[in-house]
Amino acid sequence: MFAAGVKTSVAALFTALVLTVTAACTGGDGLSPSPRSSSPSDAGRPAGVLAVKIDNVASARPHTGLEQADIVYVEQVEAGLSRILAVYSSGLPLVIGPVRSARETDLELLRQFGRPTLAFSGAQSRLLPVIDRAPLEAVPPSKAPGAYFRGQDRPAPHNLYLRPERIPFTASGVDAVEELGLRAGSPPPGGEPADSRTVRYPSASVTFTWSAERDRWLVSLDGSPARTADGTQIGAGTVVVQDVTVRPSDFSDRSGSVTPFTETVGSGSAVVLRDGRTYDARWSRSAAEADTVFTGPDGRGVDLAEGPLWILYAARGGAGSTAGG
């Protein structure tokens, strides 16, 4: 299902992608690291939250537009690999990708956002009717062919990109963190100093290393720095590692590998990383349409640091997460 990694320099990837987008877009808007703010008043474009399913294997990197997501979810997929669901509502980049296929886990996860828009490349045939019945606006290439294009810098299927301005969606202007009922504020009491934290999946890993200079947790994927299209390492303001149940679903990929289903309704332990410290917490979500609540040992809600929020689902009983990389 996944191609081998492509050994191409970040500079070459960025140059090729700029040329591809410039050629593909009328007016030559190109690829810009600056966000495109959207106004909810745009006629005929429903305002709210956009979730984009993003590839997360070596051949799909560097990602485009990921650094501008309000929330980045990381979940386990087939063969023990990981995939990303990036959520945007405060604004939109010009290009997002590479876009890949949706999973059943996404449907339950996204119920927290009311009726969001989901951009994805496709899905297993038996899952498509389930997506159609879900309370969301599905926008695969078949529904918005003019919004997607193939880049020339890497092989398919790792080269499908979305121009969000060409789908029927307008960002609400409100950070998706607030859509979940979360907020930025002072750190909770206690905590332990931490330089890094690694979350491991059977065939993948995500490491966060604290940078006091940037006031961010710098992200590495499978041991390599996660970079933007222009080479800057991606950072998170807050990281939450949720201890969850991951079980087999009723779906599988083309090779017959069973797709994992991550249960995001329920409760369990969590670790919150912010400001160079780690904090023990609990997460709870009473129903699919309810927000996920994060509380500290004192029972109070845990406030977040300013900046992007990364949420990683770590399987109970699995490799989980470890301090110190």
Q: What is the pLDDT of residue 319?
A: 54
Q: What is the mean pLDDT of the chain?
A: 86
Residue 18 phi/psi, 5° resolution? -60, -45
Q: What's the pLDDT score for residue 57?
A: 97
pLDDT for the residue numbered 257:
80
Nearest to 67 by CA among 319, 310, 250, 253: 310
Give the pLDDT of residue 252. 75
Give the pLDDT score at 35.
38
To the nearest 10°, the Cα dihedral for 206, 211, 217, 222? -10
Provide the pLDDT for residue 261.
Answer: 97
Please tell me the predicted confidence (pLDDT) of residue 189: 87
Q: How would you write the chain as a 3-class SS string?
A: CCCCCCCCCHHHHHHHHHHHHHHHCCCCCCCCCCCECCCCCCCCCCEECEEEEECCCHHHCCCECHHHCCEEEEEECHHHCEEEEEEECCCECCCEECECCCCHHHHHHHHHHCCCEEECCCCCCCCHHHHHHCCCEECCCCCCHHHEEECCCCCCCCCEEECHHHCCCEECCCCHHHHCCCCECCCCCCCEECCEEEEEECCEEEEEEEECCCCEEEEEECCEECECCCCCECEECEEEEEEEEEEEEEEECCCCCEEEEEECCEEEEEEEEECCEEEEEEEEECCCCCCCEEECCCCCECCECCCCEEEEEEECCCCCEEECC
**Nearest Cα to 57, choosing from 75, 86, 87, 82?**
82
Q: How far apart are CA 169 and CA 171, in angstroms?
A: 7
What gap in Å lies between CA 116 and CA 48, rounded to an integer? 6
Handedness of CA 125, 131, 98, 79 (dihedral sign): negative
Residue 14 pLDDT: 37
Residue ranges in the chain modelled with pLDDT below 70 = 1-47, 318-322, 324-325
pTM, 2 dp: 0.85
| pLDDT tens by residue, 197-215 | 999 999 999 999 999 999 9
